[in-house]
Structure 1
Amino acid sequence: MATEDTDTEDTDTEAFRLPRSRRANERLHALIPGGAHTYAKGDDQYPENLAPVISHGRGAHVWDVDGNRYIEYGSGLRSVSLGHAHPRVIEAVRREIDRGGNFVRPSIMEVEAAERFLATVPTAEMVKFAKNGSDVTTAAVRLARAVTGRPRVAICGDHPFFSVDDWFIGTTPMSAGIPAATTELTVSFPYGDLAATEELLTRYRDEVACLILEPAGHTEPPPGYLAGLRALADRHGCVLIFDEMITGLRWSEAGAQGLYGVVPDLSTFGKALGNGFAVSALAGRRELMERGGLRHPGERVFLLSTTHGAETHSLAAATAVQTTYVEEGVTARLHALGERLAAGVRDAAAAMGVGDHVVVRGRASNLVFATLDENRQPSQRYRTLFLRRLLEGGVLAPSFVVSSALDDADIDHTVDVVAQACAVYRKALDAADPTPWMGGRPVKPVFRRLA
């Protein structure tokens, strides 16, 4: 938990301060645009002057440069699902680092990692590794365009992020620098609505190369939806792509496709795959994937060709992660921890009279929370109040996404801190104004047109 003392006043007079983190944030902004290498890690996502800069982490805990310890959720933007410095992963990585990391020809680690991946995700027939999720989602889109000869990409508009590349970012409020002609080739369909999707495919008949979506999100797929989408893609001749960056491993070892039994043409994995090490994967049907290879008679597709995509230590990390998931039942543990946390938070919120305002959503292995105002509308101002109180209690939680390193004591402490935060939340609701408890400007959404 945070080691500095806190005041018991109701308004913004807390003694909790992060002077070293604040100075480190100034250094970060002076040298790095945005002060971080991922916008979701920016200090604008946290209460003013309360954005910890991390020194190190172990298991489910991290320490900031001010010496405060936190229970951490959403670790590494959902990438660290086994906890920081997991011994099996670190051992595998160290072993490969001692053997060299990158060569002028493929290493044996590449085929071993591919065999492990395809054994874990048996619905795929081939796989190619890269470093970032955007690498592989964009490769999937390019491949779909190549095999269909069609220009348009249909994205699920209900999901927040697919890629840093122009075909997606052009659809967001941060579209500066992207030609309109590029953005016009991306169209959107609503999650769960097969009729609307068929209408879109009919309107752009023979123009849509692919449907790309996260197969599940904060809610479960409606009965028959994914199978219906599979049938729609087949009927209209487009490629079905599952973005399994989040659902991969967290929903089941084989991802959402393994859980729900619907096989996409292509799928993309990342985040939990490396437990913090940089690795992602494009997987799918051999007939499609081989178009990026050397054993087909057709026109070649520049699928993926990355200098660092086959770094041995990252592939060793992915192999160790998948083995650990399978052998230790990690997915089941994530669900059990998430269910315990969700129940505790909901009970705490209800007890403090804010059960309709602090709302936990999502699959147990991938929980997020909503902060609603007195009119039950999403509120960045109330989120600021809530995050501030969590930080003061030693809980770093932009979401409630669990790692398997959490234990019951961590969950119990989190629930206690949430209860304290909810007590303040109730006072702010009664006042119809959270400003006295915010401590400064509100946190901001990642995607916005102006800084």
Structure 2
Amino acid sequence: MDAEEFRLPRSQQANERLHALVPGGAHTYAKGDDQYPEKLAPVISHGDGAHVWDVDGNRYIEYGSGLRSVSLGHAHPRVTEAVRREIDRGSNFARPSILEVDAAERFLATVPTAEMVKFAKNGSDVTTAAVRLARAATGRARVAICGDQPFFSVDDWFIGTTPMTAGIPAATTELTVAFPYGDLAATEELLTRYEGEIACLILEPTGLAGHSPNSASRPSGEDPTPGYLQGLRELADRHGCVLIFDEMITGLRWSEAGAQGLYGVVPDLSTFGKALGNGFAVSALAGRRELMELGGLRDSRERVFLLSTTHGAETHALAAAMAVQSTYVKEGITAQLHTLGAKLADGVRAVAAGAGVGAHVVVRGRASNLVFGTLDGDGRPSQEYRTLFLRQLLAGGVLAPSFVVSSALDDADIERTVEVVAQACAVYRKALDAGDPTPWLGGRPVKPVFRRLA
């Protein structure tokens, strides 16, 4: 369908109802309708495999499913079977379920660099718990985050570093400092400047695992330079701080054991989520026994309030995680994701080059975790050109806030996606030639997630 003729009246009505009842119109900012062209933000009815249907009846090939959480595709039979089985047996009890130890054993067998694990429901639960644990273990207050990476937690220690600082005390924000990815000298200078004050270094193990859709001018899931992660490990040891790997995105997608399993560098603590539950709410904090036991009951040390969640060990979510991990290992899912992603990246790059926009529609990242950048005529990231590109993709039946693949995609899905991208690139070329994408936007441009004003 031509983008100018593409309409989503029922989705638009549903979005208006959402905004009347839900602040922001969605429960995750990255799913907000401000991330999509005006009046073209689909509201989803259901999904199956690599496809979703909106309330207007349109079917889309979907990428970045569930903000990268649904890596096996929607309603994966092995996962849904495991979930249904546990729902029929009860989901939450006054004491731990036997499934909690089964899930812990399964996780630690998959991530052998960790010695203990505690489950929760979302990524912020466990990243904040990791920071608290590092502060308790070191007696230090400052946290050092990788400043080149866009998201670690919804909690104040991180959100206070974004443009959305309203409601966050400055005293909290001042305790968080930043280091650049890939620069050991700058990180050492930071640790020296705040000698004895920094509790932890927290980062995604890769340059930028791809939260930001217009990050083509920055690293995006590329392998770290040789020796970089090892250098961070040495710096953390020398300065007495805790090394934390945020594996929300890299977990399972880089290897079954995450980036730490691929690169062979062992953090003190690591956090997992997203792909771990294939859309079901489960996350994990894992790490060295010496640190994790600070939140335990088996000695007389001062206790640390590590994690205590009513729903952290719901049986159906843990069953989903076990089924996901088993499927990854048995079916070689990580390798499948890389194969599918590589085919998609090659196809998109070829048609972009053929349309004369190869320097403007840029695919970056590890094959299992691709993002795209949309650059203007001067090579600068452009939300206007992103809007144009997204409109064309939606009209062609491709829902792609990123190009992050799921294993449910098949060759026909990839080929169709490349065809739609080719059509979008032809329009992109027209806009570049005109020197102004405005006639192809259909309304206001999409907006960055983190911004100070609505």
Identify whether the pair has TM-score above 0.5, normalized to the shorter chain: yes
Q: Does 1:314 align with 2:317?
A: yes
Aligned counterpart, 1:292: 295
| Paired residue secondary structure (2:47) | strand
Aligned counterpart, 2:122: 132
Aligned counterpart, 2:215: none
Mapped to 1, the partners of 2:449 and 2:421 lie a distance apart of 24
Aligned Cα root-mean-square deviation (Å): 0.5
Give the C-alpha shift of residue 167 in structure 1. Answer: 0.1
Aligned counterpart, 2:105: 115
Post-superposition Cα deviations, 1:343-377, rounded to whole Å, max 9, x if no partner, equal 00000100000000000000000000000000000
| Paired residue secondary structure (2:6) | coil
**Unaligned residue ranges in structure 2 (runs of 5+):** 209-219
Mapped to 2, the partners of 1:254 and 1:378 lie a distance apart of 33
| Paired residue secondary structure (2:432) | helix
Mapped to 2, the partners of 1:266 and 1:239 lie a distance apart of 8
Aligned counterpart, 1:349: 352
Q: Does 1:233 align with 2:236?
A: yes
Post-superposition Cα deviations, 1:234-273, rounded to whole Å, max 9, x if no partner, equal 0000000000000000000000000000000000000000
Equivalent residue runs for 1:210-249 within 5 Å: 210-216=200-206, 217=208, 218=220, 219-249=222-252
Number of aligned residue pairs: give it.
Answer: 441
Q: Does 1:381 align with 2:371?
A: no
Q: Does 1:71 align with 2:74?
A: no
Aligned counterpart, 1:179: 169
Aligned counterpart, 2:142: 152
Mapped to 1, the partners of 2:350 and 2:232 lie a distance apart of 37
Mapped to 2, the partners of 1:352 and 1:253 lie a distance apart of 38
Q: Does 1:161 align with 2:151?
A: yes
Runs (4+) of structure 1 exceeding 6 A deviation are none
Match among 327, 330, 335 for residue 333 of structure 2: 330
Aligned counterpart, 1:194: 184
TM-score, length-normalised on structure 2?
A: 0.97
Aligned counterpart, 2:217: none
Post-superposition Cα deviations, 1:60-81, rounded to whole Å, max 9, x if no partner, equal 0000000000000000000000
Equivalent residue runs for 1:242-281 within 5 Å: 242-281=245-284
Equivalent residue runs for 1:391-410 within 5 Å: 391-410=394-413
Compare 302-311 and 216-225 and name the one that shifted more: 216-225
**Unaligned residue ranges in structure 1 (runs of 5+):** 1-5
Q: Does 1:55 align with 2:45?
A: yes
Give the C-alpha shift of residue 298 in structure 1. Answer: 1.3
Match among 36, 48, 53 for residue 46 of structure 1: 36
Aligned counterpart, 1:435: 438
Mapped to 2, the partners of 1:223 and 1:297 lie a distance apart of 42
* 1:383 partner amino acid: R
Post-superposition Cα deviations, 1:6-27, rounded to whole Å, max 9, x if no partner, equal 34xxxx7x21100000000000
| Paired residue secondary structure (1:48) | coil
Mapped to 1, the partners of 2:299 and 2:285 lie a distance apart of 19
| Paired residue secondary structure (2:237) | helix
* 1:352 partner amino acid: A
Aligned counterpart, 1:366: 369
Aligned counterpart, 1:27: 17
Mapped to 2, the partners of 1:178 and 1:389 lie a distance apart of 39
Give the C-alpha shift of residue 405 in structure 1. Answer: 0.1
Post-superposition Cα deviations, 1:17-58, rounded to whole Å, max 9, x if no partner, equal 000000000000000000000000000000000000000000
Give the C-alpha shift of residue 295 in structure 1. Answer: 1.0
Mapped to 2, the partners of 1:242 and 1:304 lie a distance apart of 18
The percentage of counterpart residues that share the same residue type is 86
